[in-house]
Amino acid sequence: MSALTAVSGVNYTKYAAGGVANLVSQQWMAPLEFVFDEYTVPTGDTVAVAGVISFGVVPKGARVLFHVITYTAAGAAATGTIKVGTTTSASVTSMVAAGSQVLGALIASSGTPTTADSVVTLTIAAQDLDAATNITLTTVYIQDGIGISAT
Partner 1 sequence: MSALTAVSGVNYTKYAAGGMSNFVTQQWANNLQMVHDEYTVPAGDTVAVSTYINMGRVPKGARVLFFIFTNSGSGAASTGGIRIGEVAATAVAALTDMTSATTQVLGSLIAFSGTPLAAESKVDILLTSDADLDAATNITLTTVYIQDGVGL
Residues found near partner 1 in the complex (CB under 8 A): 31-39, 41-42, 44-48, 50-57, 59, 68-72, 98-102, 117, 119, 128, 134-138, 140
CB of 18 to partner 1, least distance (A): 28
d(CA 141, CA 91): 17
Cβ proximity to partner 1, 14 vs 120, nearer residue:
120
Cβ proximity to partner 1, 14 vs 67, nearer residue:
67
φ, ψ for residue 111, nearest 5 deg: -80, -20
CB of 46 to partner 1, least distance (A): 5
Q: Rounded to the nearest 10 degrees, how much is the dihedral formed by the CA atoms of 37, 43, 46, 47?
A: -20
Cβ proximity to partner 1, 15 vs 96, nearer residue:
96
φ, ψ for residue 12, nearest 5 deg: -65, -35
Q: Count how many residues are written for the chain.
A: 151
